[in-house]
Structures are given as C-alpha cells and as structure tokens.
A and B are shown apart, each in its own frame.
Chain A
Amino acid sequence: MMQTTQNSRDAIFGAIRSALKRSGPLPDARRAELDANVPQHTRPAQDENLLERFIRKFESRAGTVQHIASRAEIPAAVEAYRANMNLPHRAAVGAALKDLIWPADWQVHHNRAGTEELLSVSLCIAAIAETGSLMLGASADSPTTHNFVPDDHVVVLEAASIVGYFEEAWAILRQRSEGMPRATNIISGPSRTADVEQTIQLGAHGPRRVHVLIVAA
C-alpha cells in the first residue's frame, strides 16, 4: 500500500505540474518568497469595546455570560449555575482549575468526560470579539471531551484574553512553546442544527448550553 500511494503521489504532482506548465518544483528562491509571505487580508471593521462586542455576539447565538470579580469566585459561580440547572453535585473540571476549592459535597474529577457527565468546567485560551467565540485547546489541562460531551459547559474566560480578530488568536497559538494543540476548538455558543425543516434546535450533539464566566481584568 505504501508503494501505491507513493506512485499516486508522484502521479498527482506530475499532473499538477504539467497543468501549471512546469517540469518540476518551483525554483528555491520563489519557494522561499512564498514561505516568507505574511498575508494581510481585509478585516471587518470593529468600533466597539472588545468585552462588549464579545458579549453581544456570544449572546446573539444563545450563549450566556456572567461577570465575576476574581478567579477564587469560580466554584461559587459554578455551584450557583449547577443549582439553577438542577444538576447533580458532580463535574468534570479541567486540571487547569484544579487548585480552586470546589464544594466539599461535589464529585470533581479532571479526566476525560463520558456520557454520564452532565457538567464540565474549562478554562479557555482566548476569546475572539469579531464573532463572539471562545478558543479552547486540547491538553491534559483541558480535554476535548469536556467541550462536547456534557449537556452544560461552563467556560472560564479571563477578560484580558479577549482579542479582536481571529488573526490575533492564531498569533497566540503560534507563540506557544508546545506548538499547536492537537485540537483547537473555536466555540460560538451551544450546539445547534437546522436539519429538520430549517427549524433551529439547540443541543444537537454537543452542549445544550454554554455559560461563560468572565473574570474581571
């Protein structure tokens, strides 16, 4: 099989180059030029405070937000949310929030989420004001299953980590010493579908609700 795909690879590159009227790869100088190119595409104008824009956009897609004064207030805010939603005393919490003091009668774990999990709490890398989206990265501190399996997803967002545009969020990823996360999830509200007669229905496969705790800068 490896041999076959190698032959196919050569054939495809041959066909592409002949279509482009070239006999081989581009000259090295041209390749270096292409590699060095930094794209400058048009970004839709924004004239709003980043936090306000993030909230307006995120809420427009059925997401909810709540302001808290400090990181230490996270457990109490999550407990209030849990009680309000009438969920069991249990949550999958990203290890990034391990150091917080969670209610004593809670079952808290930091492992991946299974189907029995109804509530998860994650720390996001950043938020993007342009579309009102959260950016989460897979790691031991933030398993991807927390973002998709439970019915209720609570995401902690540091107000200072809101950026204006996608391009600024990519810059944050490029600066990480560990490189790109295995999975980078840009999340813009609860899961939804319109596959039955164009009727919008929340909670298709992913979370039914996404609640953001915004920690003041």
Chain B
Amino acid sequence: MEIRSKEFKSRAVFAIHDASLQQAMGKARDGFVGKRAQQAAELPEFEALREEAKNLKNHILENLDHYLERYEDAVKRAGGHVHWARDAQEARAVILDICKRVNAKTVTKGKSMVSEEIDLNEALIEHGMEVVETDLGEYIIQLANEPPSHIIAPAVHKTKNQVSDLFEAAHGGPRKTEVADLVNEARQVLREKYFRADVGITGGNFLIAETGSSMIVTNEGNGDLTQTLAKVHIVTSGIERVVPTLDDATLFLRLLARSATGQETETYTTISTGPRRATDLDGPEEYHVVLVDNGRSKMLAGHFRDMLRCIRCGACMNHCPVYGSVGGHAYGWVYPGPMGSVLTPLIKGLDNAYDLPNACTLNGRCASVCPVKIPLPDLLRELRHLQHQQELSPVMQRRALKAWRFVATRPKLYHAGEWIAVRVLKLLGRKGSIRRLPFAQAWTDVRDLPTPEGQTFLQRWQAQRGK
C-alpha cells in the first residue's frame, strides 16, 4: 500500500470523530489488556521468560548470518527452496515468478504482515490472479478494500454491523446479524477457495534452523488449510525470524500468545518442513521460503537493532493510549502503534513518517509489556533526534529549542524569565484557570491551564527551606 503517514494528523482527527471506530476500539482495548495481564499474573516465570527471550534474540542477531545459513541448508535438505529478496520489489518478483510458472489462477493467503509490507496482493491481482485472504479479519478488510489496522486483529476497527453490511454485499443476502452466522458464512465461502487454490501463501512466526521448518500460530486453522490444500506453499518472512532450534522457538511461544491475545496458547501451532513426501496423501507439491530484508540488515547495524527482536505480538499497540484513541489506519502504513512508529520511518524513510515518532507521550506502557523488552520509547526518542539532526522537524520548533537552550544554560536569565512568566500567567487567569494561551492554542483548545499562584517553584522551595 502507498504510505500515507504524512497525513497522520488529519487522519487522527478524523478517527477520533468516527463513532463506529471509537465503539470498536473501546471493546478491543479492554479485552486485550485485561486478558494479557491475567496471563502474565498466572505465570510466575513470565518476567524471567521475557529476560531470556530478550537475551536469546540478541544472541541470534549477533550470529544472524550463521543461523540463516544453517536454516537455508536444512530447508534444502527437506526438499524446499529458499529465495532471498533485498527489498519489496525483489520479493514480489520472486513470488510472481513462482505463481506464473505453475500457472496460478487462485492464490489463498494466511495472515502475513510481510506480504502487506511488500504490497503482494496488488501485484498478484495485476497479473490476473484471484487473491483470497483467509484469516477472518483479513477477509473482512479485503472485502472493505482496506489495509489491516492491527497486526494480529486486522479488522479490530470494524463493528459487527459493518461486517454484516460487507458480507451481505459480497455474498448476497439474507443479511446475517449474529457472530456465529457471520463466521459460518465466511467458513462456507472460503472452504471452496482453499480446495481450488493453486498457491497458498502464509507468513512464518519462526524459522527453525535445526530442522529447516517454518512455524505459524493461528486460532482459526486458516493458515493450515491454505498451506495443506494448495499445490504450492510459499512462506514469506523477514530475515530476523530465524531461531536456532525447536526448543528456542518454544521460549517465544510461551510469550507470544499470552502477550498477543491473552491466551495461554493459540489453538494451532504448525511446523512445516518441506513439500509433500512420496507416501503422503496430502500437502503441497512445492515448498518455498522467501526471505525478505527490506531494511532489516540496515537496522542491524545501528541504534535500532533492538527493534529486530520484535515477534509481532501487538501488545505495544494494545497498551498504547494514542493507538487506542486513533486506531491503526491513522498511522498510514502497514505497521501501526509503537512498533509501527519505529518501523515505518526506518523502512519507508524518516521524512515519509515525520509525525509517527512524535505522536507518542513517552508514557512507557509499550516497553513495560513488550515480551522481548524492546525499549520502544527510547527508539522513538532516537528517531526524533535523527529528525532534528536532518532538519526534518519544523523550523519554528528548531528555533524554539535553540532559544530554550540559550536560556536554560544561563540560570539567572532562566529564573528571571520564569519570574516574569508566572506573574503574567497569573494576570491572564480567570477563576483559577487560563482558557486560551497565545502560541499554545493547540494545547489550550482542548484543555485549560491552571493559573500559577504567582511564585516560581524555586521561590517556594527556598521559602520552605528557610522555615
């Protein structure tokens, strides 16, 4: 999808006034946060696991080339193919090539954020293929012609009523209004697609170097039907998703479902190793893995290596007050919320997503729930720093900061300025608060500033100490 992160401010305002969105987001927020907290509380080892997971990811990243080579060898031994793609364009070309070679007409897809990242659907459709998203949430937003608004609950912004409308328009009536009937209708429609599919594309939560396997976790079973029934299975994954062994993947499994959906485990954990064997009665005839860099090796080099630990659970966005208010679409690209505000500028360019690192209160809730302890607020602050250095921030802001630095490094001047300011503010106040403040209307438009008492903090502090 085309990046629209530059429109963050206008899209955020729009989102706050969208009643359906606010209704849907309210329901989601309470569910995710409460369930995760309960799972964390029920597992005494949870904090120890987070620390171990952080250390293991750091170890893997430190030896990434080694584990990727081991993984590649093992995939080949199991009869699979590994393809390497430097960027989105190369990844699309590799996948298109496979689909064209097998003369694919219908392509089914399990959930894959990398496929969103590389704009895969548009490319396949352009070449005349029917592309069917099979995760219920992804299917809903495909019908609505929208991008996902959450990395694990892509249709979290939709109300039941909106889903009823979409299904009625796509499948014909009678209109279903119960969740059970809606789910059943999608089940029937999608079954036919699984069996007809030439190519099935899924993501990969973990790539196991020990066995050359890809691992996916789902609740619906759609990823399994996608990869079992198509003639060709293609896995799309980022290069950072490799883990040394099955035991290592287990460490992350113990954190993933708890952090993501607040479940002890998802319903299905599936390990796929190569194509159908000679005696097998089902399964794909070909098995391909497309490993995508798309900015990841660059992150490995600099201040942002920590971000490569991400296991895509979505806990950071579930706990983010900004995401909770504006939803995922305001962020304007594939990855929303705190993790998206770090990834989007790094993958798509600092200047293409100026607002995202700044749309953060630095409250730190995201970092406190991250299962691999990514210091998200620090990374966002670092991005702001880079934006400032590259002079991407507004001129007025940079001038104001310069002026502030000039004053702040001269204590006498600073205290004199404060002394004047509290007195002026006191004069402006009416009934204990200031309704409008010049140069800060954006702030006072939505809240009042309490009137200062007329003394600076330092004056009161010294008066107290004198007692």
Cβ-closest chain B residue relative to A26? B66
Interface size on B, residues (CB 8 A): 100
Complex contact B300–A16 (CB within 8 A): yes
Binds A, one of B6-14, B77-85, B320-328, B397-405: B77-85
How far, in Å, is B91 (CB) from chain A's closest CB?
9
Q: Does B359 contact A (CB under 8 A)?
A: no
CB distance from B248 to the nearest CB of A (A): 5
Q: CB < 8 Å: which of A4, A43, A198 contacts B90?
A: A4
Beta-carbon nearest neighbor of A13 in chain B: B65
B271 located at the interface, meaning its Cβ lies under 8 Å from any Cβ of chain A in the complex: yes
| Residue A15 at the chain B interface, CB threshold 8 Å | yes
- Which residues of B209-256 have CB atoms within 8 Å of chain A's CB atoms? 211, 213, 219-222, 224-225, 227-229, 239, 244-248, 250-251, 253-254
- Which chain B positions have C-beta within 8 A of A197? 24, 27, 159-160, 179
- Does residue B279 face the partner (Cβ distance < 8 Å to A)? yes
Q: Which of A20, A37, A45 contacts B65 (CB 8 A)?
A: A20
Q: Given the complex of chains A and B, what is the CA–CA distance between A11 and B179 in angstroms? A: 49
Q: Is B395 among interface residues, defined by CB-CB distance under 8 A?
A: no
Which of chain B's residues have a CB closer than 8 A to the CB of A143?
Answer: 280-282
Per-position binary interface string of chain B over residues 189-212, scored 1 when its CB falls under 8 Å from any chain A CB and 0 otherwise: 011100100000000000000010
Q: Which of B44-52, B113-121, B365-373, B447-455 contacts A (4 or more CB under 8 A)?
A: B44-52
* A166 adjacent to chain B (CB < 8 Å): yes
Verify if A133 is at the interface (C-beta below 8 Å from B). yes
A140 adjacent to B182 (CB under 8 Å): no
B contact residues around A179 at 8 Å (CB):
78, 273
Q: Which residues, 151 to 186 on B, are CB-close (under 8 Å) to A?
A: 153-156, 158-160, 163, 179-180, 182-184, 186
Q: Which of A19, A42, A140, A204 contacts B183 (CB 8 A)?
A: A204
Contact flag A205-B65 (CB < 8 Å), given A184-B271, A188-B268? no
Is B385 located at the chain interface by the 8 A CB criterion? no
Q: Is A147 an interface residue (CB 8 A)?
A: yes
Q: For the complex, is A185 an interface residue (Cβ under 8 Å from B)? A: yes
Give every chain A residue within 8 A of B297 (Cβ-Cβ). 12, 15-16, 19
A191 to B218, CA, bound (A): 9
Mark the stretch among A75-83, A97-105, A110-118 that contacts chain B. A110-118
> Which of B186, B211, B228, B283 is the most central at the interface, judged by chain A CB atoms within 10 Å of its CB?
B228
* A86-131 interface (Cβ within 8 A of B): 111-112, 114-115, 131
User: In B75-124, which residues have CB < 8 Å from any A CB?
Assistant: 78, 83-86, 90, 93-94, 97
Q: State in angstroms the CA–CA spacing of A198 and B163 once bound together.
A: 13
* Pairwise interchain contact A140-B65, C-beta atoms closer than 8 A: no
A182 in contact with B277 (CB, 8 Å): yes
Residues of A171-194 whose CB lies within 8 A of B: 173, 179-194
Residues of chain B within 8 A of A1, CB atoms compared: 93-94, 97
Given the known interface contacts A12-B239, A26-B63, the answer about A45 and B44 at a Cβ–Cβ threshold of 8 Å is yes
- Asked if B267 and A61 make an inter-chain contact with CB atoms under 8 angstroms apart, the answer reads yes
Contacts of B140 in A (CB 8 A): 195-196
Residues of chain B within 8 A (CB-CB) of A48 are none
- Asked if B70 lies at the interface with its beta carbon under 8 angstroms from chain A, I say yes
Cα–Cα, bound, A31→B67 (Å): 9
Q: Are B281's CB and A12's CB within 8 A? A: no
Judging by beta carbons under 8 Å apart, are A11 and B135 in contact?
no
Q: Please determine whether B228 and A194 come into contact, CB atoms closer than 8 angstroms.
A: no
Category for how many chain A residues contact B: 35 or more
List of B residues within 8 angstroms of A217 by Cβ:
none
Q: Is the CB of A12 within 8 A of B270?
A: no
Task: Check B155–A42 contact: CB distance below 8 A.
Answer: no
When the two chains form their complex, are residues B49 and A194 in contact, meaning their CB atoms are under 8 A apart?
A: no
Contacting pair A188 B265 (CB below 8 A):
yes
Say yes or no: B179 contacts A196, CB within 8 Å. yes
Q: Please measure, in the bound complex, the distance between the C-alpha atom of A205 and the C-alpha atom of B154, giving whole angstroms.
A: 17
Other-chain contact of A188, B24, B186, B266 (Cβ < 8 Å) = B266
B187 at the interface (CB under 8 A from A): yes
Task: Report A-chain residues with C-beta under 8 Å of the C-beta of B267.
Answer: 61, 187-192, 206
- Bound form: Cα–Cα A19–B61 in Å: 10
Q: Pick the most buried of B70, B160, B250: most chain A CB atoms within 10 A of its CB.
A: B250
State whether B163 touches A196 (Cβ < 8 A): yes
Q: Choose one: B191, B251, B272; the contact of A183 (CB below 8 Å).
A: B272
Residues of A within 8 A of B84 (CB): 5-6, 8-9, 12
**Which among A4, A11, A165 has the highest number of chain B CB atoms within 10 Å?**
A4
Residue of A nearest to B211 (CB): A180
**What residues of chain A have their CB less than 8 Å away from a CB belonging to chain B?**
1, 4-6, 8-9, 11-13, 15-20, 22, 25-26, 31, 34-35, 37-39, 41-45, 57, 61, 111-112, 114-115, 131, 133, 138-140, 143-145, 147-149, 165-167, 170, 173, 179-199, 201, 203-207
Seen from chain B, the residues whose Cβ lies within 8 Å of a Cβ on chain A are 24, 27-28, 31, 43-45, 48-49, 52, 56, 62-70, 78, 83-86, 90, 93-94, 97, 134-137, 140, 153-156, 158-160, 163, 179-180, 182-184, 186-187, 190-192, 195, 211, 213, 219-222, 224-225, 227-229, 239, 244-248, 250-251, 253-254, 261, 264-277, 279-283, 291, 293, 297-298, 300-301
Of the A-B pairs whose beta carbons lie under 8 Å apart in the complex, a sample of 9, sorted by A's number, is A5-B83, A5-B84, A9-B84, A26-B63, A140-B279, A144-B283, A196-B136, A196-B183, A204-B183
Given A13-B65, A26-B63, 11 additional A-B pairs, CB 8 A: A15-B300, A20-B62, A39-B248, A111-B281, A115-B191, A139-B280, A170-B247, A183-B227, A191-B268, A203-B187, A204-B186
